[in-house]
Structure 1
Amino acid sequence: MTLPELAHPNAAPPLDDTRDDRRMLRVAAAVVRDLSTPRASVYWPDLLISTGVGYTALAGAISFDTVSLALASGLVAILALYRAASFIHELSHLRKGALPGFRFAWNALIGIPLMIPSFLYEGVHTQHHARTRYGTAEDPEYLSLALMKPWSLPLFVMSAALAPLALIVRFGVLTPMGVAIPPLRKIVQERCSALSINPAYRRSAPHGAFRRQWQLQEACACLWALMLAASVVMIGTRPLLTYLAVHSGLTVLNQLRTLVAHLWENDGEVMSVTEQYLDSVNVPPPNWLAPIWAPLGLRYHALHHLLPSLPYHSLGTAHRRIMAQIVEPSAYRKANHSGMLPLIARIARGTASER
């Protein structure tokens, strides 16, 4: 692994070496040479178990008449399906052919049933890692939240609760309308076809094999959205309402994780690799809640920005190795934080100072 890969597999070297902790970058590249291969023996059982537990619990939430059992099942469904859904992040970084069949299986089991097919993220998330895009107006996954008004934080989190309804409209209404109305199709492709948080982001048209993949996934998601709407007539409202509640729960949880994945303190300037790292967040052990709200290694989000090609099961080992090798002064430890609540408080203090 070479130093340019620390920012992005195809990134240029840092623009200004004086702004980078060069020793940290060298150590990070050196200690993970044996950790870069995704292990099918980890990915497949994790996905299948999480999916199985999630759908079993969802069925329980729908069928249990006892409120406490239904709520408990709903909570389990939220956590398990949230973990399974988080594999979309891994898909955006997996090299072609690394895990044969995994992308198809994830879309069939999770992407289509939750109306988040992988085309919504693939080709989008990698732009967030691009060396000269991170934290700028061209970054689809960045907002300067810490520099915005105080009301922006609760709005950012709670708006996610409406995502399931928005996805039904996106695929069940806008997709078929776009087939009949080409100008609408272009608007939907540019503005409603990416899991992004930057409202100014506009997505480019897909090409080649990815275009065909996009079209197939979108067609399947459209059929699923229409089936969900029709289910009210066929089997009543409870299954759909429970599905929407669980979907909203996992989406809000993911939005909370997104809120504390970065410090959101950049004002649009191009940042060095180290500056991008310090604007990102690790929540390492001993925090025991982090694997729940930041599954699949997402608790090491700052480390992920240094080493985006590392599979999720290698991030904990990589973190321990780097911590053992790094001595002060170093930027590495400065991205380690104690938990979600202190991070939310820090970001909220930033918004308060912007009044």
Structure 2
Amino acid sequence: MAPTFTNDYRHFAVTKGHGTKGLSDLQLDSLPEQYIQPVEERLDMTKVLKEESIPVIDMSNLDDPNVADQIVAAAEKWGFFQIVNHGVPVEVLENVQEATRRFFALPVEEKIMFTQDKSPTNSVRLTTSFLPKVDKVLEWKDYLSILVSDEKSSEFWPSACKHEVMEYVEKSKLVMKRLLKALMQGLNVDMESKESLIMGSTRINLNYYPVCPNPELAIGVGRHSDVSSLTFLLQDNVGGLFIRKMETDTWISVPPLKGAIVINIGDALQILSNGKYKSAEHCVAANGSNNRISVPIFVNPRPEEIIGPLPEVLKNGEKPIYKQVLYSDYVKHFYRKSHDGKNTLEFAKI
């Protein structure tokens, strides 16, 4: 049953656990006021560059040094690129997308068992918006977030997606390691000695962006950069991901490519590289005609790691831009506030 007053929409979506999918299913005539973004936070389509796109890198021949050079160049200039011929089987990608749709199609009574108050484990949580207790204006998105620690951790994952999520993570690990190895070589850093620092923990999100009334007034995800070392994103064919071009106040669409994975540099790697690699600000537009899903894997340092410019990066006398910070402190700072572009990086600056 639809909420009777506008003020009930937050309660319906957040407290009752219906999320934006529940609101979308009501087929509302207009966007609830809690989701109407201030003008400056809406995606201005007049500032989207049509003629530019991020690099697409063919990973079929990783022995070719040109491939590593392309990865490093993309990380330096864009902070975003797409990879094709990466080795993750197409059926694995299709299966995890289908599992995402299956989970969000579950009755709300089943899904709310994974909300923060009811989840059987701290490593699995279903939420809506970004931080519904903090966000003054809510984002038009629901997501299931899973911390992947080991095989046993999957015991409490939703059965609707457990197998497919585990398979996607497992099949992606080698590709993520190869990407990070190329990026470390670009810094003259030995990957083996830094593996636990750079890719010590993994989180995966299943993101669901339902059809939105008045999408031009809403935002799927507000502008932000990730706190990861690297993000490994599978998006469906709907589109809606935009990155901010670093030198100008313009946006570039990241078009869906069948079988491709979108890679972006996170804040942790920007800090470790002393700014050589850039974490790009990005956002997701709301859509008025299609449901959209995406499945990012976040490759992170372990919470107890200290991150700062790597000694190898500074050995030629380069001055550090960032201080040494406890990674868990950095992440906590990110989760204390609504999305606000790349402002989290100020926490680590000297």
Q: What is the TM-score normalised by the length of structure 1?
A: 0.29
Higher relative contact order (CA 8 A, sep 6+): 1
Q: Counting helix residues as a fraction of each chain, which structure ranks higher?
A: 1
Q: What is the TM-score normalised by the length of structure 2?
A: 0.30
